[in-house]
Every structure is written in C-alpha cells, then in structure tokens.
C-alpha cells in the first residue's frame, strides 16, 4: 500500500510498533509501542544494551523477523517512485525488490554475513544480477557485474580491488570484511543503510576507518544511515540525532549535542557513565586499594618475578611458496607479583600469541621463564602442572564453555583435573567434593549459587564472563591471563566486569597479563602498559607515561582513534 508522495523528508517511519515473540516459555514482548522517523541524509543512532529491542526494531523495516514473531503498528519506507509504502502490505516479490535498493542492511558480524565458499566479487554481483531492472532492464554479463563490483570495492577503500575481487572472505581482515558488506549495501544505490553494530568487534583504528567511511557515504550520496550501537563514543562521532531504547521501549530521543549535554533519563545517564575514559581518576594507580610499590627502574628480586620473557619470537613457517610469518618478534618483558601488565595493540599484532606462548600452547624461541622455570626445558607432565597454576579468561565467554556441561561442572573441571594431590589443596576427586568451592567462587563473582545448575545458553554475555572469571580463579592461581575479556560486551556490562576484576585483584593480589585493543580499558586495569605493533613492543611504561606523553607514532595513532563520548570534542580533528 502506498501512503503517498507528499513532500516529506522521511525516508522511513515507524509508528506504534509492537513485536512479540512466541517461545516455549510463553510470549515475550521485544518491542512495545515504538515510533521513530529517519530523515533524508540523516544519521540516526539507535542506542541501548543487548536485548533492548534495537535490532528487532530495525529489522522490521525490511521485514526480516522470524515467522515466530507477531508484529503490529505501521512501518513505512520511501521509494523514489511510490513515496512512503507500508512494508506490511507488500508481497514477497515486492519485498525482494526493495531489499538492497530502497534500504540495505549491514550486519553486525561480517564473517557470518559473507558466504565462505564464494568469492566476494561474486557475492556483490549476486545483488546486481537480482535487480537487473535497475540497469535499464537488461541482464548484465558476468564481466559487467564484476566491473561494478570492482568499482564499489574501490569506493569503500579495498586495496587492489581488481585483484581482490577474486578473493574469498577468509583472505580479508575483519575491518576489510566490514567494508565488503558495506559495499554490498551500496552497490544498488540504497538511500537508507541500516548498520547493525558495524564496529563492535573491531580495533579502535579500524573502527575509526569504518566510521569515516560511513560519514563519507552520507556526504557523497546523501544516504540516510540508521546506526545501531551501544558505544556512546561511536554515537558522539557519527549521529545527528539519538534514540535510546531500554527493554523494548524508547526512553529518550534528542539531538546528539542535547543528549550528551543534558541527558534526561536515568538509563541514558547510566550508559554515558559506563563509557571507559582515559582519566587520572580512573587510572589504576589512583584506584588501587593497596598502592603498588614496584619500581620499574630497579631490578626485581627473582622471587618476585612471575613471568620473565627475553627475546621471545613466534614464527609460523610458510606453506606452498609463501614466506614464513613472524607473529611475535623478539619481545621482552617481565611481570612481578601483584602487578597487572596491559598488552595493547590491534588484531594480528601478536597479543594473544604471547598469552598462548606463556601457557605453552604456541611454539617459540627465546628465554621464557614462568614461576622461575624455563618453559622450554619442561617435559609435558611438568607443563601440564604449570598450566594449573595459571588462570585463563577467554575473549568469547560463550565459545569457551562446553554447552553440554552445567556451569558448576565447568567451574569444577580444572579442580577435578588437578586432583586431590594439587599443591593448592583445592583439587578434588569429583563434582560433589567441588560443590563448596563452586559456591564460594560464584559468590566471589557476584552470582547466585543456583547458577551452578544452569547451562551456558541460559546466561547473558556478562554473566557468562563472570563464570569464566570464576573458573580461572578455581585453583587460586597467582597469575591470570585475561584475553580481551570485555570486547564483546555492552559498555554497562563491561563496566561491571572491569569493576569486578579490579575488586578481585585488590582482594587476591594476583598478577595478570591483560590483553586488549582498548586503551581506555587498559588504563583502568593496568599498572604498566606495553604497546605491541606487528609483533614488537614499541613502547612501555605506566599509564600516565604512555597515555599522556606517548613517544611512538603508533601509540599516538591508537590514542587519536579512540572515540570520545563527547560530540564536540570527538568532531575536532585530532
């Protein structure tokens, strides 16, 4: 049904939308009485935590919700020929025509949005072939479609597009894959792009590039953009107008400057307060309950050194004529008792590889001592025993758990493997014997004891990460490796996990290697920071030294790419 061609700047309009999902446990209201408009050439930010209804609301514009959903309200999209159309009244064929042409979706995870068995040029050309009527009604040849794919890849900044158009998705980095899905959204000339968390899993430098690309698209093509995010720094950088959602309802709507200057709703204030900032007040040196007395300029007592690495290198041999890949290149550092060392750098810089080398899971050269023992001289049994003295918090809180085990069984697993002869005295013979310790650990990470009987899929991301921290502490290790433990979490949940980590570190005084690509997070948790670039440490020092007076150009680039939750400051060229 066509609403009309009245003179309106709206490219999309939602009125009194309600979405209900039917589940085995009853009906669930995902969106309640939501109304919004998107103007021509406008960047509208839809903000809220996971489960707030953001993505559900956006997907109604293209009728992409599952059949189990029940929808009511009005959802209108503007096409150049027909004015505003009610998408609920469109047939399947008509919906297929507007998808990609009137509005296009950029999905949150490009790795799952792209088909791994087809070249990216073919995947872009697929949309071109499906909408041949846009090209004077003639069916384009494969060569013509490929030429258009190359052109759009060039526009989104893919290097050597004539060559890389024939690459498969796995041959691109995360940021490049995100550019490719943006190219898919642009190739048919869509006037509305729905970008669902387009930067969540990206490094700050890559995130800055993607945001700049989206802004240039708006400027060049006058494209409207609906950006869905929980990152208030991204909102400050991108948005003209902001709508805040909480539990399926809009709680606040305002111009971006007004919202940041004078937030009205408590939930909006909570989101803004949760954004990590580089600040003297939140720096670890200021928040420690027991100040660290380590002098980095003095040699440490050998008994106080937990990890000592000298000229560590990790090199992966080349295959089929390719050169060998140097993942870590002559890195040296030490971590002492009670100290948290932050290791910061982009994806591919070698951060996680160093963590895996410490627990003996990556082959390396150089001298690496863990608890004073030379790792390369230990046999397999000694290495297993050494790993039991190291806790590991994984980046993906869902993928790190066996879905068939209850959370209590997952926490008990390291204690059962260690056995009753473990030096910590916390090893057990079976699950029943581990129950008191499981309950103690759940209480330690601020979770109810009955969570021990739940399965991983029954918890939120933040709750799963709390359980991951409990499992890492099961044998009371003196040293923990935390590998990007908050990168996949909403800002408010991230703030809760970081506070919990800091409280536990103050209480238990464990040493830690904290890996992250977020300088603000690193500043909050770390006593000392090492900046890693292409497998080499380019700068190290305290948070005050690194973040207020950086010396290396790469560190300066990381700092300049960090989104600031203030639209006036964020929009000043840095």
Residues 198, 336 share a domain: no
d(CA 236, CA 563): 8
pLDDT at 526 over 90: yes
**CA 95 → CA 26, 91, 127, 329, 477, distances in Å?**
30, 6, 14, 53, 56
Q: CB–CB of 149/187 below 8 Å?
A: yes
Look at residue 232 and give its three-state secondary structure.
Answer: helix
Q: Rounded distance, CA 540 to CA 331, Å?
A: 12
List phi, psi (to 5°) of 227.
-105, 125
For residue 317, give the DSSP letter: P
Higher pLDDT residue, 158 or 574?
A: 158
pLDDT reported for residue 561: 81
Q: Indicate whether 142 belongs to any domain.
A: no
Both tokens of 544, joined, read: 């005050």
- DSSP structure class, residue 438: H
**Contact between residue 156 and residue 179 where contact means Cβ atoms under 8 Å apart:** yes
Can you give the pLDDT at residue 471?
94
Asked if 34 and 54 count as a contact pair (C-beta separation under 8 A), the reply is no
User: Which pLDDT score is estimated for 319?
Assistant: 67
Are 490 and 573 in a shared domain? yes
Same domain, 203 and 248: yes
The side-by-side arrangement of strands in the sheet containing 83-86 is 2-4, 83-86, 69-79, 10-23, 26-39
Q: If you average pLDDT over every residue of the chain, what do you get?
A: 87
pLDDT band at residue 130, thresholds of 50, 70 and 90?
Answer: confident
Question: Which pLDDT score is estimated for 136?
Answer: 53
| Confidence (pLDDT) at 484 | 87
Among 328, 389, 388, 326, which residue's Cα sits nearest to residue 353? 328
- pLDDT the model gives residue 280: 85
Distance between CA atoms of residues 399 and 382, nearest Å: 28
**Residue 467 pLDDT > 50:** yes
Q: Is the pLDDT of residue 13 over 80?
A: yes
Asked whether residue 90 falls in the same domain as residue 212, the answer is yes
Averaged pLDDT for residues 181-191 = 85
Does residue 177 sit within a domain? no
Of residues 323 and 136, which shows the higher confidence score? Answer: 323
Number of domains in the chain: 3
Asked whether residue 510 carries a pLDDT value surpassing 70, the answer given is yes
- Residues 254 and 291 grouped into a single domain: no
Report the alpha-carbon angle 435-441-444, nearest 5: 145
In a domain, 124, yes or no: no
- Tell whether 321 and 451 lie within a shared domain: no
pLDDT at 14 over 90: yes
Q: With H, G, I as helix, E, B as strand and everything else as coil, classify residue 140.
A: coil
Residue 136 maps to a domain:
no
Two structure tokens written together for 574: 């840095």
Q: What is the edge-to-edge ordering of all strands in the sheet holding 373-374? A: 325-336, 305-316, 365-370, 373-374
Q: Is 477 helix (H, G, I), strand (E, B) or coil?
A: coil
Looking at residue 513, the DSSP 8-state letter turns out to be E
269 & 294 share domain: no
pLDDT of residue 506: 93
Averaged pLDDT, 300-318: 87
Q: Are residues 314 and 429 in the same domain?
A: no
Pairing, β 241-246 against β 43-47: parallel
> Which domain covers residue 487, as residue numbers?
275-348+357-389+479-574
Among 449, 477, 505, which residue terminates a domain? 477
Cβ proximity of 316 and 325 under 8 Å: yes
The span from the CA of 299 to the CA of 312, in Å, is 20
Is residue 532 within 8 Å of residue 353, measured between CB atoms?
A: no
Residue 116 lies in a domain: no
Scanning the structure block, which residue is given the tokens 């943006």? 182
Bridge partners, residue 42, by sequence: none
Per-residue confidence at 6, pLDDT binned at 50, 70, 90? very low
Q: Where does a domain end: 477, 497, 522?
A: 477
For residues 497-524, one letter each, b for 16 or more C-beta atoms within 10 angstroms of the residue's C-beta and e for the rest, the string is bbebbbebbeeeebbbbbbbbbbbbbbb
Answer for the pair 367, 360: CB distance below 8 angstroms, yes or no. no
3-state secondary structure of 447: coil
> Of 274, 298, 327, which residue constitutes the final position of a domain?
274
In a domain, 459, yes or no: yes
Q: Are residues 515 and 573 in the same domain?
A: yes
CB 284 within 8 A of CB 546: no
Token pair of 351 as six digits? 């951060």
- What angle is formed at CA 477 by the lines to CA 466 and CA 359, rounded to 5 degrees? 95
Q: Looking at residue 544, what DSSP letter applies?
A: H
**Is 220 a residue whose pLDDT tops 70?**
yes
Q: Per the domain annotation, does 322 fall within a domain? A: yes
Residues 231 and 342 placed together within one structural domain of the fold:
no
Read off the pLDDT of each residue in 129-139 and give the average, rounded to a whole number.
63
Q: Where do runs of H (alpha helix) occur along 309-459? A: 351-358, 380-387, 407-418, 431-444
Q: By the 8 A CB rule, do 466 and 493 touch?
A: no
pLDDT in tens, 54-107: 989 999 999 988 877 888 899 999 876 668 889 888 888 888 888 888 888 888
Residues 469 and 563 in one domain: no
Helix (H) or strand (E) segment spanning residue 155: helix 142-155
Section 491-502 average pLDDT: 88
Q: How far apart are CA 392 and CA 390, in angstroms?
A: 7
Answer whether 457's CB lies under 8 Å from 405's CB.
Answer: no
In a domain, 146, yes or no: no
Same domain, 248 and 280: no
551-571 pLDDT, tens digit per residue, is 999 999 888 888 788 888 887
Q: DSSP letter at 490?
A: -
Mean pLDDT value of segment 249-255: 95
- Residue 2: which H helix or E strand, with range? strand 2-4
| Separation between Cα atoms, residue 442 and residue 431, nearest integer Å | 15
pLDDT at position 295 over 80: no
**What is the pLDDT, as a whole number, of residue 121?**
92
According to DSSP H, which parts of 262-306 are helical? 266-274, 284-287
Query: Is the pLDDT confidence value at 398 over 80?
Result: no
CATH number, domain of 250, equals 3.40.50.300
């Amino acid at each position: 049904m066509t609403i009309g061609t009245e003179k309106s700047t709206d490219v999309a309009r939602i009125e009194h939308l309600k979405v209900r999902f039917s589940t085995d446990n009853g009906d669930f209201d995902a969106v309640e009485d939501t109304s919004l408009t998107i103007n021509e050439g406008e960047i509208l930010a839809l903000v809220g935590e996971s489960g707030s209804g953001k993505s559900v609301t956006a997907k109604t514009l293209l009728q992409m919700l599952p059949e189990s959903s029940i929808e009511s309200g009005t959802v209108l999209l503007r096409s150049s020929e027909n004015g505003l159309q009610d998408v609920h009244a469109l047939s399947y064929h008509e919906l297929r025509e507007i998808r990609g042409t009137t509005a296009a979706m950029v999905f949150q995870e490009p790795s799952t949005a792209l088909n791994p068995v087809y070249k990216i040029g073919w995947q872009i050309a697929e949309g071109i072939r499906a909408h041949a009527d846009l090209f004077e009604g003639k069916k384009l040849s494969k060569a013509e479609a490929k030429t258009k794919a190359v052109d759009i890849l060039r526009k989104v900044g893919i290097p050597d597009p004539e060559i890389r158009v024939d690459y498969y998705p796995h041959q691109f980095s995360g940021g490049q894959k995100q550019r490719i899905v943006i190219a898919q959204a642009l190739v048919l000339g869509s006037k509305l792009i729905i970008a669902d968390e387009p930067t969540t899993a990206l490094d700050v430098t890559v995130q800055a590039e993607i945001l700049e690309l989206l802004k240039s698209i708006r400027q060049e093509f006058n494209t409207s953009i609906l950006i869905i995010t929980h990152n208030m720094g991204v909102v400050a950088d991108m948005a003209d107008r902001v709508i805040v959602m909480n539990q399926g309802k809009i709680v606040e709507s305002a111009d971006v400057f007004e919202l940041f200057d004078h937030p009205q709703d408590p939930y909006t204030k909570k989101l803004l307060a949760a954004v990590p900032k580089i600040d003297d007040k939140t720096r670890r040196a200021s928040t420690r309950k027991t100040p660290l007395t380590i002098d980095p300029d003095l040699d440490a007592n050998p008994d106080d050194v937990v990890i000592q690495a000298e000229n560590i290198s990790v090199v992966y041999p080349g295959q089929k004529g390719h050169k060998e890949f140097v993942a870590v290149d002559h890195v040296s550092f030490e971590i002492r008792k009670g100290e948290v060392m932050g290791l910061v750098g982009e994806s591919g810089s070698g951060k996680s590889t160093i963590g895996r080398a410490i627990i003996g899971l990556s082959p390396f050269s150089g001298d690496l001592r863990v608890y004073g023992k030379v790792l390369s001289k230990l046999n397999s049994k000694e290495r297993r025993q050494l790993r039991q003295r190291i806790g590991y918090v994984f980046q993906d809180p869902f993928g790190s758990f066996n879905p068939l085990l209850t959370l209590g069984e997952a926490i008990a697993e390291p204690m059962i493997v260690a056995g009753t002869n473990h030096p910590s005295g916390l090893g057990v013979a079976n699950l029943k014997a581990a129950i008191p310790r499981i309950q103690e650990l759940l209480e330690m990470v601020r979770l109810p004891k009955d969570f021990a009987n739940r399965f991983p899929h029954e918890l939120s991301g933040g709750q799963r990460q709390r359980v991951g921290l409990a499992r890492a502490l099961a044998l009371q290790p003196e040293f923990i490796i935390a590998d990007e433990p908050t990168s996949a979490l909403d800002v408010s949940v991230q703030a809760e996990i970081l506070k919990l980590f800091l409280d536990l570190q103050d209480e238990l005084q464990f040493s830690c290697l904290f890996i992250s690509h977020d300088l603000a997070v690193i500043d909050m948790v770390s006593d000392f920071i090492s900046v890693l670039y292409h497998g080499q440490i380019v700068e190290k020092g305290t948070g005050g030294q690194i973040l207020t007076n950086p010396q290396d150009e790469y560190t300066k680039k990381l700092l300049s790419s960090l989104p600031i939750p203030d639209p006036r400051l964020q929009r000043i060229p840095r």
